[in-house]
């Protein structure tokens, strides 16, 4: 949450910062601001409530000639959405931007007698004031002093008013990547802001202090000794983070799914069999674990629920799926025989990271399924399965979900193989069906018009229900989340069989119900549940496979997905659910890619 960028170099710093903030805006968009050293070494601030576009307008109206500056796009935590609370914050010699939460800011306010001296309600300004107190002309020693007082998570970029042309940065938990590019030194919350300038970058090591000048990026350890940064190469293109002609990132990312599914699966097939040698995942471990814990948040957690539906029945070992923010407080029983799987697109979600650390402390082997290379979750896991989804910019997760499921399906297949539950032939059949899901997704993308028609029955309704049983219920959870986050329609997912235990009281002829019925083993029962809501007047949109026979009066609108093995219906169904949410948001004239109150990467608890 919150996007940070810093730049020192020959280019127009104001432009570099605004372009970078535009790339990072999905991390938070309550307000935005920049601070720049001008050519006389004075610091100028521009802050605006609202989106980066508002800041850009002001900047363009009064450009500042600068080659060094920092910029921030905010997702509010401490203090409301006001220009006083927007970053950068200035206190004495210090100008600071921050992503994270300083938990002991109230104690620090008292300890450093800051009451009545602060302009904002933010924990960031408190940190700037403490740093100012400690600053006696040596930035490294003052920053070291500051760190000894702080509790919480942070990524800071700092300018000292008597050190023009220099930016300092430090982080704990909250992400930062940096690079010396062909055109200067850069630092940012994530890679997408650096990509237009460099494919080589390094993850800022926690607790190390970074100094950017126009000529270099230096890393200092806590004793002030220089260290060589550990550069890595991005596999994403600049293009991948652009809209490429689509009106929204979300639509572009929905369309990318058939391709990125193949990119995630194909490199892990050897003679048609799943193979995790490159990830170093030992078969002996996959064979010996006696239970699996899947932990994640939001859409990633829903991907885990889909995977659970095939892993537990397929491997006959217990599999639980936990919401990461709850997991730590459940006092979970984990042992070295528990395989922990954490799932995260960003690899930075703080609750997922905390859950990972807890599992690791219980000696459980941890596999993470992560999209962002080098992210904290990836680095702290014993093994990483990277999904090759490319950058996901829309706040609503789409392609990350389907590639996470594809990666988890491959892992399941490997486990079934090494545990003697699948023959080579069965495993090959499984992976070949998985690859064909690329076509079933493509087919649903081609049925956009029918899906748009369904949307006209949802748009004006304040409520919607998604129902299903078994795996279809897991899909419903994701459908409801997608719809509520970008259309603001109150959407609930319900296990279809559970409705009559209370919730069916809410069903009237004003409530559209999206019923998912792709699981043959439970089809008859799901159909009875659909009849129950239909009988209460609901407008039913039925999602079902091509060859499933239904009575004409069962639903008001039927969307059929290609016939496929029950385990794989998630892929075409996901596309339908994503497009339902997308077109609803578009039809309501909402901000599809940056829905209110949300941010792409949740790095605060
Ligand atoms: C869903 O559309 C969301 N953007 C959200 O639920 C997301 O999946 C969740 O915050 C987890 O993020 P992660 O995959 O980056 O950990």
344 Cα to the center of ligand 1, angstroms: 7
**Nearest-atom index, ligand 1, CA of 401:** 8
Whether the CB of 352 sits within 6 Å of ligand 1: yes
**Nearest-atom index, ligand 1, CA of 398:** 2
Mutate to test the pocket of ligand 1, among 26, 295, 300, 485 (most ligand atoms within 8 A of CB): 300
Residues of the chain with pLDDT under 70: none
112 Cα to the center of ligand 1, angstroms: 38
**Which pLDDT tens digit goes with each residue over 250-298?**
999 999 999 999 999 999 999 999 999 999 999 999 999 999 999 999 9
List, in order, residues 6 or more apart from 409 with CB less than 8 Å away: 307, 310, 430, 434, 567
Whether the CB of 122 sits within 6 Å of ligand 1: no
pTM summary value: 0.92
Contact 408, 570 (CB under 8 A): no
Q: Rounded to an integer, what distance in angstroms lies between the CA atom of residue 401 and that of residue 254? A: 10
222 Cα to the center of ligand 1, angstroms: 34
- Ligand 1, atom 8, residue with closest C-alpha: 299
CB environment 171-207: b (16+ within 10 A), e (fewer): bebbbbbbbbbeebbbbbbbbbbbbebbbebbbbbee
Mutate to test the pocket of ligand 1, among 26, 250, 298 (most ligand atoms within 8 A of CB): 298
470 Cα to the center of ligand 1, angstroms: 22
347 Cα to the center of ligand 1, angstroms: 10
pLDDT reported for residue 472: 98
List, in order, residues 6 or more apart from 269 with CB less than 8 Å away: 275, 431
The beta strand positions in 141-287, using DSSP E, are 152-160, 167-172, 177-181, 184-188, 200-203, 209-212, 217-220, 226-227, 232-233, 269-270, 273-274
Indicate the DSSP class of residue 135.
-
Whether the CB of 474 sits within 6 Å of ligand 1: no
Whether the CB of 602 sits within 6 Å of ligand 1: yes
**Nearest-atom index, ligand 1, CA of 349:** 16
Q: C-alpha distances in angstroms, 267 versus 135, 232, 254, 276, 570?
A: 52, 20, 22, 10, 22
Whether the CB of 345 sits within 6 Å of ligand 1: yes
Number of H helices, E strands in the chain: 18, 27
* Host H or E run for residue 304: helix 298-315
Edge-to-edge strand order for the sheet containing 177-181?
43-49, 31-38, 66-74, 3-8, 184-188, 177-181, 200-203, 232-233
Whether the CB of 387 sits within 6 Å of ligand 1: no
214 Cα to the center of ligand 1, angstroms: 36
The residues assigned a catalytic role are 2, 600
pLDDT reported for residue 604: 79
Whether the CB of 377 sits within 6 Å of ligand 1: no
Whether the CB of 601 sits within 6 Å of ligand 1: yes
3-state class percentages of the chain: helix first, strand second, coil last, to nearest 5: 40, 25, 35
Q: Rounded to an integer, what distance in angstroms lies between the CA atom of residue 290 and that of residue 307? A: 17
**Which pLDDT tens digit goes with each residue over 240-252?**
778 889 999 999 9
Own/partner contacts of 19-24, CB < 8 Å, gap of 24 or more, are: 19/196, 20/71, 20/186, 20/188, 20/193, 21/52, 21/55, 21/71, 21/72, 21/73, 21/193, 22/52, 22/56, 23/192, 23/193, 23/195, 23/196, 23/241, 24/73, 24/188, 24/189, 24/190, 24/192, 24/193
Neighbours of 239 (CB within 10 A): 10
- Ligand 1, atom 6, residue with closest C-alpha: 298
- Ligand 1, atom 16, residue with closest C-alpha: 344
Whether the CB of 349 sits within 6 Å of ligand 1: yes
Q: Rounded to an integer, what distance in angstroms lies between the CA atom of residue 301 and that of residue 401? A: 9
Whether the CB of 298 sits within 6 Å of ligand 1: yes
Q: List the structure tokens of 428.
A: 């090959």
Q: Rounded to an integer, what distance in angstroms lies between the CA atom of residue 403 and that of residue 410? A: 10
HEC letters along 70-105: EEEEECCCCCCCCCCCCCCEEECCEEEEEEEEECCH
Q: List the structure tokens of 196.
A: 């237009």
353 Cα to the center of ligand 1, angstroms: 13
pLDDT reported for residue 576: 98
85 Cα to the center of ligand 1, angstroms: 26
Whether the CB of 194 sits within 6 Å of ligand 1: no
pLDDT reported for residue 18: 97
- Ligand 1, atom 10, residue with closest C-alpha: 298
601 Cα to the center of ligand 1, angstroms: 7
SS3 call for 188: strand
Whether the CB of 485 sits within 6 Å of ligand 1: yes
pLDDT reported for residue 78: 83
**Which pLDDT tens digit goes with each residue over 402-425?**
999 999 999 999 999 999 999 999
Whether the CB of 346 sits within 6 Å of ligand 1: yes
Q: Is the peptide bond before 536 cis (omega within 30 degrees of 0)?
A: no
């Amino acid at each position: 949450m919150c996007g940070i960028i810093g730049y020192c170099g020959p280019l127009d710093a104001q432009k570099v910062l605004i372009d970078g903030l535009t790339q990072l805006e999905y991390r938070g968009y309550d307000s935005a601001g920049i601070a720049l050293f001008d050519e006389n070494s004075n610091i100028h601030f521009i802050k605006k409530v609202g989106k980066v576009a508002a800041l850009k307008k002001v900047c363009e109206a009064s450009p500042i000639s600068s080659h060094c500056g920092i910029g921030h796009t905010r997702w509010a935590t401490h203090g409301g959405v006001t220009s006083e609370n927007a970053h950068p914050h200035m206190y004495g010699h210090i100008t600071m931007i921050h992503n994270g939460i300083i938990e002991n800011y109230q104690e620090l306010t008292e300890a450093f007698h800051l009451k009545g001296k602060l302009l904002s309600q933010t924990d960031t300004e408190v940190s700037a004031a403490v740093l100012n107190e400690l600053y006696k002309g040596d930035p490294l020693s003052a920053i070291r002093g500051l760190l000894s007082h702080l509790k919480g998570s942070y990524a800071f970029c700092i300018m000292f008013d008597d050190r023009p042309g220099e930016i300092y940065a430090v982080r704990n938990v909250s992400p930062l990547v940096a690079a010396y590019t062909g055109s200067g030194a850069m630092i940012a919350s994530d890679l997408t802001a650096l990509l237009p300038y460099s494919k080589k970058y390094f993850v800022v090591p926690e607790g190390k202090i970074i100094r950017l000048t126009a000529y270099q990026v230096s890393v200092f350890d806590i004793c002030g000794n220089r260290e060589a940064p550990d550069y890595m190469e991005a596999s994403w293109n600049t293009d991948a983070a652009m809209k490429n002609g689509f009106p929204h990132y979300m639509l572009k990312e929905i369309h990318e799914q058939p391709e990125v599914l193949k990119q995630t699966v194909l490199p892990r097939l050897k003679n048609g069999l799943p193979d995790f040698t490159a990830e170093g995942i030992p078969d002996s471990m996959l064979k010996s674990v006696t239970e699996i814990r899947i932990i994640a948040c939001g859409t990633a957690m829903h991907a885990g629920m889909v995977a659970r539906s095939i892993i537990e029945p397929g491997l006959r070992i217990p599999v639980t799926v936990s919401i990461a923010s709850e997991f730590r407080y459940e006092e979970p029983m984990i042992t070295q025989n528990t395989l922990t799987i954490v799932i995260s697109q960003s690899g930075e979600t703080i609750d997922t990271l905390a859950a990972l650390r807890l599992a690791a402390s219980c000696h459980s082997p941890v596999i993470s399924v992560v999209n962002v290379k080098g992210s904290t979750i990836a680095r702290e896991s014993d093994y990483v399965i990277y999904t090759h989804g490319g950058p996901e910019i829309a706040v609503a997760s789409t392609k990350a979900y389907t590639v996470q499921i594809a990666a988890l399906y491959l892992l399941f297949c490997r486990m079934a193989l090494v545990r003697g539950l699948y023959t080579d032939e069965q495993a090959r059949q499984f992976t070949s069906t998985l690859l064909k899901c690329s076509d079933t997704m493509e087919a649903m993308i081609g049925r956009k018009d029918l899906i748009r028609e369904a949307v006209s029955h949802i748009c004006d309704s304040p409520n919607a229900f998604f129902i299903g049983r078994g795996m279809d219920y897991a899909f419903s959870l994701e459908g409801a989340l997608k719809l509520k986050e970008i259309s603001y329609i109150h959407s609930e997912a319900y296990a279809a069989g559970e409705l009559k235990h209370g919730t069916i009281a809410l069903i009237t002829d004003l409530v559209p119900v999206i019923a998912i019925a792709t699981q043959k083993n439970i089809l008859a029962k799901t159909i009875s549940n659909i009849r129950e809501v239909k009988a209460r007047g609901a407008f039913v949109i039925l999602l079902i496979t091509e060859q499933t026979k239904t009575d004409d009066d069962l639903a008001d609108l039927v969307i059929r997905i290609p016939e496929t093995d029950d385990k794989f219906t998630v892929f075409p169904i996901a596309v339908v659910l994503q497009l339902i949410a997308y077109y609803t948001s578009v039809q309501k004239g909402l901000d599809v890619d940056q829905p209110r109150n949300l941010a792409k990467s949740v790095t605060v608890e």
